[in-house]
Amino acid sequence: MQAMEGNKGWVFIIGFLVILLLIGATFVWVVYTTLDRAVTPVQSLTGDLATQVSSVMNPTPTILPSPLTLIRDIRSLARLETIQFTVEKVITAESNQGVWGNLFGDKLILVARGRVIAGVDLSKVGADDLELRDGILILSMPEPEVFVTALDNKRSYVYDRDTGLLTKGDVNLESSARAAAEDEIEKAAVEDEILDMARQNSELFLTRLLNDLGYPDVIFEYPDRPQATPTPQL
């Protein structure tokens, strides 16, 4: 009897310990689940906050074109574009580079790439500018000119910019540099004889056209050139 009572005591103790273990495991699971549910919104909030801070520090520009369009001028053109140059120039622009340059100065280096298109304006040619003399067509031509000088904004960029410690920089400095770049690009093209090439190409084109129209011999004359320029038949 005493042995049976002892065994019952041990069974009771073991059962009681098992129940405590189950209760403890359940408690731990409840605590873990509660903490996980509590931490997840905090982590999500932290991530959202980091995203908002990044958006503020590195904003994405918004482009809002006006729905209103104004056409300022309409003109008919008869331009014969005969040559195009692509030119690259490095422009340095600076302001307030005196004694206080380190504090108030502004300096940038612009790598500018642009195109120059030249040719002749055929709207300047009238009936009086054509003369048939002994079977030879004499054509009085306008001087070649530059039609277009434009920067390639996708390939032009500010390589470096240095502003003083006490200034935010000149807001018009880059615009001034780009305007100067256009002038320098056109100047470089003219120095590389783009106008002479435009004249030669226009003469070749018009010679082919006039030959097809039944004029085998063509001579081009220019107002500023007293002697005629003969062009061989093609």
For residue range 21-36, list pLDDT tens digits in order.
Answer: 666 666 556 555 655 5
Check residue 139 and give its pLDDT.
92
Could you tell me the two tokens for 156? 């032009």
Check residue 165 and give its pLDDT.
84
Check residue 75 and give its pLDDT.
66
Check residue 42 and give its pLDDT.
44
Strands of the sheet with 225-231, listed across from one edge: 130-133, 136-140, 218-222, 225-231
* SS3 annotation, the chain: CHHHHHHHHHHHHHHHHHHHHHHHHHHHHHHHHHHHHHHHHHHHHHHHHHHHHHHHHCCCCCCCCCCCCCCCCCCCCCEEEEEEEEEEEEEEEEECCCCCHHHHCEEEEEEEEEEEEEEEEHHHCCHHHEEEECCEEEEECCCCEEEEEEECCCCCEEEEEEECCCCCCCCCHHHHHHHHHHHHHHHHHHHCCHHHHHHHHHHHHHHHHHHHCCCCCEEEEECCEEEEEEECCC
CA–CA dist 148, 150 (Å, integer) = 6
Check residue 171 and give its pLDDT.
86
For residue range 42-53, list pLDDT tens digits in order.
Answer: 455 455 555 555
Check residue 69 and give its pLDDT.
73
Check residue 97 and give its pLDDT.
79
- Residues in the chain predicted with pLDDT less than 70, given as ranges, are 1-61, 66, 72-73, 75-76, 101, 224-234
